[in-house]
Structure 1
Amino acid sequence: MPGRIVILNGAPRSGKSTLARAIQAQGGTWLNWGVDAFNATLPPHLLPGIGLRPGGERPDLEPQVALLYPAFFNALAVFARSGFDVVAELGMHRDYAAPFDPFAVMAERLARLPVMLVGIDCALEVIMARRRADPAQGLYVAGPGIPAPVQRWQDAVHAGRTYHLRLDMGRLEPAQGALQIEARLPEFDCVSSI
Protein backbone atom coordinates (compact mmCIF):
# COMPACT_ATOMS: atom_id res chain seq x y z
CA MET A 1 0.00 0.00 0.00
CA PRO A 2 1.45 3.42 -0.90
CA GLY A 3 2.23 6.03 1.69
CA ARG A 4 0.13 9.14 2.04
CA ILE A 5 1.24 12.48 0.59
CA VAL A 6 0.54 15.85 2.19
CA ILE A 7 1.40 18.87 0.03
CA LEU A 8 1.71 22.13 2.00
CA ASN A 9 1.48 25.03 -0.43
CA GLY A 10 2.09 28.59 0.70
CA ALA A 11 4.31 31.64 0.53
CA PRO A 12 7.81 31.64 2.06
CA ARG A 13 7.78 32.17 5.84
CA SER A 14 4.09 31.24 6.10
CA GLY A 15 4.85 28.35 8.48
CA LYS A 16 5.13 25.37 6.13
CA SER A 17 8.48 24.04 7.39
CA THR A 18 7.55 24.14 11.07
CA LEU A 19 4.23 22.48 10.23
CA ALA A 20 6.06 19.75 8.30
CA ARG A 21 8.29 19.10 11.32
CA ALA A 22 5.19 18.97 13.57
CA ILE A 23 3.67 16.34 11.26
CA GLN A 24 6.87 14.30 11.52
CA ALA A 25 6.86 14.67 15.32
CA GLN A 26 3.54 12.80 15.49
CA GLY A 27 5.40 9.61 14.61
CA GLY A 28 5.22 7.25 11.69
CA THR A 29 7.41 7.25 8.61
CA TRP A 30 6.90 10.84 7.42
CA LEU A 31 9.64 12.00 5.07
CA ASN A 32 10.02 15.76 4.59
CA TRP A 33 10.62 16.20 0.86
CA GLY A 34 10.05 19.87 0.11
CA VAL A 35 11.55 22.79 -1.73
CA ASP A 36 14.45 23.21 0.72
CA ALA A 37 15.41 19.53 0.67
CA PHE A 38 15.17 19.35 -3.12
CA ASN A 39 17.00 22.62 -3.74
CA ALA A 40 19.83 21.45 -1.46
CA THR A 41 20.61 18.87 -4.17
CA LEU A 42 20.95 21.49 -6.93
CA PRO A 43 24.12 23.17 -8.19
CA PRO A 44 24.24 26.94 -7.52
CA HIS A 45 23.53 27.93 -11.13
CA LEU A 46 20.07 26.25 -10.95
CA LEU A 47 19.00 27.99 -7.75
CA PRO A 48 16.44 28.95 -6.60
CA GLY A 49 15.11 25.99 -8.62
CA ILE A 50 11.52 25.13 -7.76
CA GLY A 51 11.59 28.03 -5.29
CA LEU A 52 11.63 30.55 -8.16
CA ARG A 53 9.40 33.38 -7.03
CA PRO A 54 6.43 34.70 -8.98
CA GLY A 55 6.64 37.60 -11.40
CA GLY A 56 8.68 36.20 -14.29
CA GLU A 57 11.88 37.74 -12.96
CA ARG A 58 14.19 34.93 -14.14
CA PRO A 59 12.98 33.74 -17.55
CA ASP A 60 16.47 32.28 -18.07
CA LEU A 61 15.79 29.73 -15.28
CA GLU A 62 12.22 28.88 -16.23
CA PRO A 63 13.08 26.12 -18.75
CA GLN A 64 15.05 24.36 -15.99
CA VAL A 65 12.22 24.86 -13.47
CA ALA A 66 9.87 23.17 -15.95
CA LEU A 67 12.22 20.14 -15.86
CA LEU A 68 12.87 20.22 -12.11
CA TYR A 69 9.22 20.02 -11.02
CA PRO A 70 8.59 16.67 -12.78
CA ALA A 71 11.82 15.32 -11.26
CA PHE A 72 10.74 16.50 -7.81
CA PHE A 73 7.30 14.89 -8.07
CA ASN A 74 8.72 11.68 -9.58
CA ALA A 75 11.00 11.28 -6.54
CA LEU A 76 8.09 12.04 -4.21
CA ALA A 77 6.01 9.36 -5.94
CA VAL A 78 8.82 6.81 -5.53
CA PHE A 79 8.94 7.49 -1.77
CA ALA A 80 5.16 7.06 -1.48
CA ARG A 81 5.09 3.90 -3.63
CA SER A 82 7.80 2.50 -1.35
CA GLY A 83 5.37 2.85 1.56
CA PHE A 84 6.65 6.07 3.12
CA ASP A 85 4.32 8.90 4.09
CA VAL A 86 5.64 12.16 2.62
CA VAL A 87 5.04 15.78 3.58
CA ALA A 88 6.18 18.32 1.00
CA GLU A 89 6.32 22.05 1.70
CA LEU A 90 6.17 24.06 -1.50
CA GLY A 91 5.38 27.51 -2.88
CA MET A 92 3.74 26.55 -6.16
CA HIS A 93 2.33 29.26 -8.40
CA ARG A 94 1.61 29.86 -12.08
CA ASP A 95 3.10 33.36 -12.36
CA TYR A 96 6.00 32.74 -14.76
CA ALA A 97 7.12 34.68 -17.84
CA ALA A 98 6.24 31.67 -20.03
CA PRO A 99 3.14 29.52 -19.43
CA PHE A 100 3.87 26.84 -16.84
CA ASP A 101 1.62 25.14 -14.27
CA PRO A 102 3.35 23.05 -11.57
CA PHE A 103 -0.09 22.00 -10.27
CA ALA A 104 -0.74 20.18 -13.56
CA VAL A 105 2.66 18.47 -13.27
CA MET A 106 1.80 17.45 -9.70
CA ALA A 107 -1.57 16.00 -10.76
CA GLU A 108 0.04 13.99 -13.56
CA ARG A 109 3.01 12.66 -11.59
CA LEU A 110 1.05 11.83 -8.42
CA ALA A 111 -1.99 10.30 -10.15
CA ARG A 112 -3.36 7.22 -8.39
CA LEU A 113 -1.62 8.10 -5.12
CA PRO A 114 -3.32 9.33 -1.91
CA VAL A 115 -2.67 13.09 -1.92
CA MET A 116 -3.97 15.75 0.45
CA LEU A 117 -3.42 19.32 -0.77
CA VAL A 118 -3.23 21.86 2.07
CA GLY A 119 -3.19 25.61 1.49
CA ILE A 120 -1.08 27.47 4.04
CA ASP A 121 -2.22 31.00 4.76
CA CYS A 122 -0.48 33.61 6.86
CA ALA A 123 -1.04 37.35 7.22
CA LEU A 124 1.58 39.53 5.52
CA GLU A 125 2.34 41.26 8.81
CA VAL A 126 3.28 37.91 10.38
CA ILE A 127 5.33 36.90 7.33
CA MET A 128 7.24 40.20 7.47
CA ALA A 129 7.89 39.84 11.22
CA ARG A 130 9.33 36.37 10.55
CA ARG A 131 11.45 37.69 7.67
CA ARG A 132 12.85 40.51 9.82
CA ALA A 133 13.55 38.13 12.72
CA ASP A 134 15.41 35.67 10.47
CA PRO A 135 16.45 37.09 7.08
CA ALA A 136 18.35 33.83 6.33
CA GLN A 137 21.58 35.63 5.41
CA GLY A 138 19.83 37.87 2.91
CA LEU A 139 17.74 35.13 1.26
CA TYR A 140 14.51 36.80 2.40
CA VAL A 141 13.57 40.34 1.39
CA ALA A 142 12.93 41.90 4.78
CA GLY A 143 12.80 45.69 4.40
CA PRO A 144 10.23 48.06 5.86
CA GLY A 145 6.65 47.79 4.71
CA ILE A 146 5.66 45.00 2.31
CA PRO A 147 8.30 44.62 -0.45
CA ALA A 148 6.90 43.91 -3.93
CA PRO A 149 8.32 40.33 -4.11
CA VAL A 150 6.59 39.43 -0.84
CA GLN A 151 3.27 40.82 -2.09
CA ARG A 152 3.68 38.85 -5.35
CA TRP A 153 4.10 35.62 -3.41
CA GLN A 154 1.00 36.36 -1.35
CA ASP A 155 -1.04 37.13 -4.46
CA ALA A 156 0.19 34.27 -6.67
CA VAL A 157 0.57 31.23 -4.45
CA HIS A 158 -3.16 30.54 -3.94
CA ALA A 159 -4.57 32.20 -7.09
CA GLY A 160 -7.28 30.00 -8.61
CA ARG A 161 -6.42 27.06 -6.36
CA THR A 162 -8.80 24.77 -4.47
CA TYR A 163 -7.49 22.80 -1.49
CA HIS A 164 -8.67 19.89 0.60
CA LEU A 165 -7.85 21.97 3.70
CA ARG A 166 -6.73 25.56 4.42
CA LEU A 167 -4.73 26.40 7.55
CA ASP A 168 -3.75 29.85 8.82
CA MET A 169 -0.30 29.20 10.25
CA GLY A 170 -0.05 32.79 11.44
CA ARG A 171 -2.75 31.96 13.98
CA LEU A 172 -2.22 28.24 14.62
CA GLU A 173 0.68 26.64 16.45
CA PRO A 174 2.44 23.98 14.34
CA ALA A 175 1.12 21.16 16.56
CA GLN A 176 -2.45 22.47 16.12
CA GLY A 177 -2.09 22.47 12.35
CA ALA A 178 -0.60 18.97 12.40
CA LEU A 179 -3.59 17.73 14.43
CA GLN A 180 -6.03 19.21 11.90
CA ILE A 181 -4.19 17.44 9.08
CA GLU A 182 -4.08 14.19 11.05
CA ALA A 183 -7.84 14.38 11.61
CA ARG A 184 -8.45 14.59 7.85
CA LEU A 185 -5.89 11.98 6.76
CA PRO A 186 -8.25 8.97 6.95
CA GLU A 187 -10.15 10.52 4.01
CA PHE A 188 -6.98 10.11 1.95
CA ASP A 189 -6.07 6.51 2.82
CA CYS A 190 -7.43 5.56 -0.58
CA VAL A 191 -6.54 7.23 -3.84
CA SER A 192 -7.55 10.88 -3.95
CA SER A 193 -7.97 13.15 -6.93
CA ILE A 194 -5.92 16.34 -6.95
Structure 2
Amino acid sequence: MLLSPDVPPGKLILLNGASSAGKSTLCRAIQAQIDEPFLQFSLDFLMFGTEVLPRRRDPSGPFTWAVMRPRLFEGYHRCLPAFLEAGNNLVVDYIIETPEGWRRLVELIRPFDVFLVGVHCPLDELERREGERGDRCPGDARRDLLTVHTFTRYDFEVDSRRPPEDNAEAIIAAWKARKTPGALSRS
Protein backbone atom coordinates (compact mmCIF):
# COMPACT_ATOMS: atom_id res chain seq x y z
CA MET A 1 0.00 0.00 0.00
CA LEU A 2 1.43 3.35 -1.01
CA LEU A 3 1.14 6.40 1.18
CA SER A 4 -1.10 9.22 0.17
CA PRO A 5 0.91 12.18 -1.15
CA ASP A 6 -0.65 14.39 1.53
CA VAL A 7 1.09 12.55 4.40
CA PRO A 8 3.30 15.18 6.05
CA PRO A 9 6.90 14.32 6.89
CA GLY A 10 7.65 13.16 10.39
CA LYS A 11 9.31 15.17 13.13
CA LEU A 12 12.59 14.27 14.80
CA ILE A 13 13.59 14.69 18.44
CA LEU A 14 17.31 13.94 18.52
CA LEU A 15 18.96 13.32 21.90
CA ASN A 16 22.76 13.70 21.94
CA GLY A 17 24.92 12.69 24.88
CA ALA A 18 27.74 10.48 26.05
CA SER A 19 27.44 6.73 26.32
CA SER A 20 25.53 5.81 29.50
CA ALA A 21 23.99 9.28 29.84
CA GLY A 22 20.49 7.79 29.89
CA LYS A 23 19.42 8.68 26.36
CA SER A 24 17.58 5.42 25.61
CA THR A 25 15.70 5.56 28.91
CA LEU A 26 14.78 9.17 28.16
CA CYS A 27 13.54 8.19 24.67
CA ARG A 28 11.18 5.65 26.23
CA ALA A 29 9.95 8.24 28.76
CA ILE A 30 9.25 10.69 25.92
CA GLN A 31 7.33 8.00 24.01
CA ALA A 32 5.23 7.28 27.10
CA GLN A 33 4.27 10.93 27.62
CA ILE A 34 4.07 12.60 24.22
CA ASP A 35 0.66 13.01 22.59
CA GLU A 36 1.78 11.87 19.12
CA PRO A 37 3.25 8.52 18.10
CA PHE A 38 7.06 8.61 18.01
CA LEU A 39 9.18 5.63 17.03
CA GLN A 40 12.36 5.14 19.03
CA PHE A 41 15.17 4.45 16.60
CA SER A 42 18.69 3.98 17.86
CA LEU A 43 21.94 2.86 16.29
CA ASP A 44 22.25 0.68 19.41
CA PHE A 45 19.39 -1.43 18.02
CA LEU A 46 21.72 -2.50 15.21
CA MET A 47 24.88 -2.82 17.28
CA PHE A 48 23.99 -4.39 20.63
CA GLY A 49 21.91 -7.39 21.57
CA THR A 50 20.84 -8.24 18.04
CA GLU A 51 21.89 -10.57 15.28
CA VAL A 52 22.25 -7.75 12.74
CA LEU A 53 26.05 -7.54 12.72
CA PRO A 54 28.10 -10.53 11.62
CA ARG A 55 29.73 -12.30 14.54
CA ARG A 56 32.82 -12.98 12.46
CA ARG A 57 35.69 -10.54 13.02
CA ASP A 58 38.98 -10.83 11.16
CA PRO A 59 42.21 -8.90 11.77
CA SER A 60 41.98 -7.53 8.22
CA GLY A 61 39.58 -7.49 5.30
CA PRO A 62 35.83 -6.97 5.02
CA PHE A 63 35.00 -8.48 8.43
CA THR A 64 36.94 -5.88 10.42
CA TRP A 65 35.02 -3.33 12.47
CA ALA A 66 37.05 -0.61 10.74
CA VAL A 67 35.47 -1.63 7.42
CA MET A 68 31.95 -2.40 8.67
CA ARG A 69 31.51 0.56 11.05
CA PRO A 70 31.48 3.45 8.53
CA ARG A 71 29.02 1.57 6.33
CA LEU A 72 26.74 0.80 9.26
CA PHE A 73 26.73 4.44 10.38
CA GLU A 74 26.12 5.74 6.85
CA GLY A 75 23.23 3.32 6.39
CA TYR A 76 21.73 4.35 9.72
CA HIS A 77 22.07 8.04 8.82
CA ARG A 78 20.42 7.48 5.44
CA CYS A 79 17.45 5.58 6.85
CA LEU A 80 16.45 8.44 9.20
CA PRO A 81 15.23 10.65 6.30
CA ALA A 82 13.43 7.64 4.79
CA PHE A 83 11.46 7.09 8.01
CA LEU A 84 10.73 10.83 8.27
CA GLU A 85 9.68 11.12 4.61
CA ALA A 86 7.23 8.25 5.19
CA GLY A 87 5.55 10.35 7.91
CA ASN A 88 7.08 8.68 10.96
CA ASN A 89 7.95 10.81 13.97
CA LEU A 90 11.24 9.67 15.49
CA VAL A 91 12.87 10.03 18.88
CA VAL A 92 16.53 9.14 18.41
CA ASP A 93 19.38 8.72 20.84
CA TYR A 94 22.76 9.46 19.35
CA ILE A 95 26.39 10.19 20.15
CA ILE A 96 27.88 12.92 17.97
CA GLU A 97 31.45 11.64 17.76
CA THR A 98 33.12 13.83 15.13
CA PRO A 99 32.47 17.10 13.31
CA GLU A 100 32.54 15.22 9.98
CA GLY A 101 29.96 12.69 11.13
CA TRP A 102 27.76 15.47 12.47
CA ARG A 103 27.99 17.46 9.23
CA ARG A 104 27.00 14.35 7.25
CA LEU A 105 24.00 13.70 9.47
CA VAL A 106 22.94 17.37 9.30
CA GLU A 107 23.00 17.23 5.48
CA LEU A 108 20.48 14.41 5.59
CA ILE A 109 18.10 15.65 8.31
CA ARG A 110 18.22 19.44 7.77
CA PRO A 111 15.07 19.46 5.56
CA PHE A 112 12.99 18.09 8.44
CA ASP A 113 11.55 19.46 11.69
CA VAL A 114 14.41 18.57 14.05
CA PHE A 115 14.50 19.35 17.78
CA LEU A 116 18.01 18.85 19.12
CA VAL A 117 18.44 17.99 22.81
CA GLY A 118 21.73 17.85 24.72
CA VAL A 119 21.69 15.17 27.42
CA HIS A 120 24.30 16.05 30.05
CA CYS A 121 25.67 13.92 32.85
CA PRO A 122 28.81 14.39 34.98
CA LEU A 123 31.70 11.99 34.50
CA ASP A 124 31.43 10.26 37.88
CA GLU A 125 27.79 9.37 37.22
CA LEU A 126 28.53 8.30 33.63
CA GLU A 127 31.27 5.96 34.85
CA ARG A 128 29.02 4.53 37.57
CA ARG A 129 26.29 3.81 35.01
CA GLU A 130 28.78 2.42 32.51
CA GLY A 131 30.06 -0.04 35.11
CA GLU A 132 26.54 -1.13 36.07
CA ARG A 133 25.53 -1.75 32.46
CA GLY A 134 28.29 -4.19 31.71
CA ASP A 135 27.65 -3.99 27.95
CA ARG A 136 29.99 -1.10 27.17
CA CYS A 137 33.76 -0.86 27.04
CA PRO A 138 35.16 0.88 30.12
CA GLY A 139 36.22 4.37 29.14
CA ASP A 140 33.64 4.91 26.37
CA ALA A 141 31.66 7.38 28.49
CA ARG A 142 34.79 9.35 29.43
CA ARG A 143 35.91 9.49 25.80
CA ASP A 144 32.47 10.62 24.62
CA LEU A 145 32.14 13.28 27.29
CA LEU A 146 35.27 15.03 26.02
CA THR A 147 33.75 15.69 22.59
CA VAL A 148 30.04 14.89 22.36
CA HIS A 149 28.77 18.39 23.18
CA THR A 150 31.43 20.34 21.26
CA PHE A 151 30.07 20.15 17.70
CA THR A 152 26.64 21.76 17.92
CA ARG A 153 24.17 23.98 19.73
CA TYR A 154 20.95 22.68 21.17
CA ASP A 155 17.29 23.63 21.18
CA PHE A 156 17.07 22.31 24.75
CA GLU A 157 19.35 20.69 27.32
CA VAL A 158 18.75 18.38 30.27
CA ASP A 159 20.72 16.96 33.19
CA SER A 160 20.16 13.21 33.17
CA ARG A 161 20.62 12.94 36.93
CA ARG A 162 17.02 14.16 37.10
CA PRO A 163 14.31 11.50 36.78
CA PRO A 164 13.75 10.59 33.11
CA GLU A 165 10.01 11.27 33.45
CA ASP A 166 10.75 14.85 34.59
CA ASN A 167 13.23 15.40 31.77
CA ALA A 168 10.76 13.95 29.25
CA GLU A 169 8.06 16.33 30.46
CA ALA A 170 10.45 19.30 30.14
CA ILE A 171 11.61 18.22 26.66
CA ILE A 172 8.04 17.78 25.43
CA ALA A 173 7.03 21.20 26.78
CA ALA A 174 10.05 22.84 25.11
CA TRP A 175 9.39 20.91 21.89
CA LYS A 176 5.78 22.10 21.80
CA ALA A 177 6.89 25.71 22.41
CA ARG A 178 9.72 25.54 19.84
CA LYS A 179 10.26 28.18 17.25
CA THR A 180 11.80 27.68 13.85
CA PRO A 181 14.47 27.76 12.75
CA GLY A 182 15.89 25.55 15.45
CA ALA A 183 19.44 24.88 16.50
CA LEU A 184 20.04 22.56 13.57
CA SER A 185 19.70 25.38 11.06
CA ARG A 186 22.32 27.31 13.02
CA SER A 187 24.78 24.38 13.10
What is the TM-score normalised by the length of structure 2? 0.77
Distance 1:190 1:158, change over 3 A: closer
CA contact (8 A) 1:111 1:193 kept: no
The 1:22/1:161 distance shift into structure 2, 3 A limit, reads: same
Distance between the aligned counterparts of 1:150 and 1:72, measured in 2? Answer: 21
2:45 maps to 1:37: yes
Q: Give identity over the alignment, percent.
A: 26
Q: Which runs of 4+ in 1 moved over 2 A?
A: 38-46, 60-70, 131-134, 186-193
Partner of 2:27: 20
From 145, 148, 165, the equivalent of 1:154 is 145
Q: Is the 1:119–1:167 contact (alpha carbons within 8 Å) kept by the matching residues of 2?
A: yes
SS of 2:27 mapped into structure 1: helix
CA contact (8 A) 1:112 1:192 kept: no
Aligned-residue offset at 1:192: 4.7
**Structure 2 CA distance, aligned partners of 1:64 and 1:187?**
40
RMSD value, Cα: 2.4
> Which consecutive unaligned segments of at least 5 residues does structure 1 have?
47-59, 95-99, 142-146
What is the count of residue pairs matched by the alignment?
Answer: 167
Q: Deviations over 1:88-127 (max 9, x none)?
A: 1111211xxxxx6111111111121000111111011111
From the superposition, tell whether residues 107 and 66 of structure 1 become closer, same or farther in structure 2 (CA, over 3 Å).
same
Asked if the contact 2:96/2:151 (under 8 Å) is kept, the reply is no
Residues 122 and 74 from structure 1, CA distance in 2 versus in 1: closer, same or farther, beyond 3 angstroms?
Answer: same
1:68-102, Cα deviation, whole Å (9 max, x unpaired): 333212211122222221011111211xxxxx611
1:43-73 CA distances to partner (integer Å, 9 max, x unpaired)?
A: 2358xxxxxxxxxxxxx64554433333212
How has the CA–CA distance of structure 1 residues 63 and 165 changed in structure 2, closer, same or farther, with 3 Å as cutoff?
Answer: farther
Q: 2:155 aligns with which of 164, 168, 176?
A: 164
CA deviations 1:149-186 (Å, max 9, x no partner) are 4422210111242111111102x111111111111223
For structure 2, the residue ranges without an aligned partner over 5 or more in a row are 1-7, 58-63
Larger radius of gyration: 2
Alpha carbons of structure 1 residues 177 and 113: separation in structure 2 relative to 1, 3 Å: same
Secondary structure of 1:2's aligned partner:
coil
Kept in 1, the 8 Å contact 2:130–2:141? The answer is: no
Query: Which whole-Å CA distance do the structure 2 matches of 1:44 and 1:188 have between them?
Result: 43
Q: Which residue of 2 is the match for residue 124 of structure 1?
A: 123
